[in-house]
Homo-oligomer: A and B are copies of this chain.
Amino acid sequence: MVVFKRTHTCGELREQNVGQNVTLSGWVHRARDLGGLLFIDLRDRFGITQVVLDSAKNKELYELGQKLRAEFVISIKGEVFKRKDANPKLPTGQIEITANELHVLSKAEVPPFTVADDMTEANEELRLKYRYLDMRKGPILDNLVIRHKAMMATRQFMDSQGFVEVITPILSKSTPEGARDYLVPSRVNPGQFFALPQSPQMFKQILMIGGLDRYFQIATCFRDEDLRADRQPEFAQIDVEMSFATQDELFPIIENLVQSIFKHCKDVAVDAPFLRMSYADCMEHYGCDKPDLRFGMRLKRLDSQAQASSFTIFHDILANGGTVKGFTIKGGADISRKGIDEYTSFVGQLGVKGLAYIKLQDGTFSSSLAKFIAPEQQPEWQKALEMENGDLAFIIAGTTKKTNQALDHLRRRVAKDRKLIAANDYKFLWVTDFPLFTYNEEEGRLESEHHPFTSPHLDDIDLIEKEPLKARSSSYDLVLNGYEIASGSQRIHDSHLQDTIFRILGLNEEERKMRFGFFIEALQFGTPPHIGVALGFDRMIMILVETEGIRDVIAFPKTQKASCLMTGAPSEVATVQLKELKIATT
């Protein structure tokens, strides 16, 4: 006796179905008793359909209906009628169903928050604890469906390009580099541990060494880090690697992949090829390595103008290797004195002491620097800043690092304040030629800017031992609207060079062998040149569905304390479990 087998979903019936006998199953969204007539909004993921129980036609059924409460799961049979008062807000608003059978499939306790849309939003903790109720509200399931579509589009596209999806191990080897590993004690090998992979990096390179040629995977990766709003302990990445190829082959593939995802999920046509800019140019023109190109306000270098001014602070900064830079806000002359003060205090929070400005209004040059800039020098400043009448420019002086940082923040802040960002605008940028190393001041040692498998830039091989911080790498990021959404590199395919890099990174021979020995050995048996990239899948979906919380695009996310409020994970475990693993808590 199957009473719940549906003929239609709750989002499907239209005027052309009038007269049909149908079976619907779903949740009681709302019920309204108008005395003798009971109206039920029956809901599933696909929509809402109005069901009518008429006591004049079927008193028993009407009385059963009166016992329904919100979120009961029911199944109804009935006939589709045209509604007298159509509801234009609902796709099914033209029809209603007069029920002649009703079965309660599951009762429901009063939920901790109302699923019906118009109620006040519950707090996030409660929504995470009762994730299944939050799902019924709509947006989360919609996001999961878009995520599914993006995975389908990814796989179809990569398959069409000859890439083979390979599942790499989750129970993997600990090679701490960068983030902390999650560890898994081995029962069979007491005292030893697996690590959950921070990425399938070495496995995908091994697959190239094995001759797979083109690999991809939507891979789950793990990092035991302190979480930020857009981070999760486990996350998904579209992981790609290909042999005998360079950027010129890889970039178009990734561009077409992104186009396919955006087309498939959001019907947005993304332009390609994407712009490319070197890391050095990015820092010069935007002060950061992930510029948001949806708006202008490129940074201008004003070193020579500052040198020619009579401002001794500028002279001192320049003499110490610092810089003077600024950017122009079109029509920004309308920013008030108070506004300028607010921006000054904004950059002050970033550790910058002063914010200079130049205003060009009604043909008049006014500036906080006026007394240091001779009238004949004013056109030089205007020209360098590409100022026109009605514009305002902000200028900061200091160390290159701090000046860039502050101008980057200020630029983004101004764009937000002045609403310079259009909706549905997707600006992609390849940032290339990152430095090979950065200097970790805390630990007093070199670190890989990207990761230790990244090939040095072919022109900079000679620098890596002599002046490592000047060496560029053959690496790149893909930036979308100010977010880094992908990162990759040409890989080292020479075991000697790989070993050298590990040595420069400060790993002694023992460490190199323990952690990476198998990989350095693998490189020795005939490794093809290869290149790859990893796209942050969760983050891309987050941008696609226009939310700012990574938790909105993950079915069962963890809190910032890395716990699952729904299941209560992590939790204490039985002593016998720890005993079998030969570990103890301390």
Contacts and interface: CB of A to CB of B under 8 A. Distances in A.
Nearest to A554: B167
A522 B555 CA distance: 15
Nearest to A569: B173
A466 to B, nearest CB: 23
Nearest to A192: B570
Given A136-B210, A561-B188, A170 B196 contact: yes
Interface stretch (A54-62, A243-251, A373-381, A441-449): A243-251
Interface in A131-150: 131-136, 140-141, 144-145, 147-148
A272 B453 CA distance: 50
A350 B245 CA distance: 58
Interface of A: 2, 4-6, 9, 25, 27, 44-46, 71-73, 75, 105-109, 111, 130-136, 140-141, 144-145, 147-148, 151-152, 155-156, 159, 164-174, 176, 180-196, 202-203, 206-207, 209-213, 220, 222, 224, 226, 233-234, 236, 243-246, 248-249, 493-494, 514, 518, 522, 524-529, 554-556, 558, 561-564, 566-574, 577-578, 580-586
The count of identical subunits is 2
B132 A206 contact: yes
Contacts of A4: 244, 528-529
A427 to B, nearest CB: 28
Given A525-B71, A574-B176, A44 B213 contact: yes
A249 B6 CA distance: 11
A526 B106 contact: yes
B45 A211 contact: yes
Nearest to A172: B569
A195 B556 CA distance: 15
A287 to B, nearest CB: 33
Given A106-B529, A185-B585, 5 more contacts: A45-B213, A71-B526, A171-B569, A180-B577, A203-B555
25 contacts: A4-B528, A5-B244, A25-B243, A75-B244, A106-B529, A107-B526, A135-B210, A148-B166, A152-B156, A152-B159, A167-B554, A171-B182, A171-B222, A171-B564, A173-B571, A174-B573, A176-B577, A182-B184, A183-B573, A186-B563, A186-B570, A192-B571, A194-B569, A518-B566, A584-B586
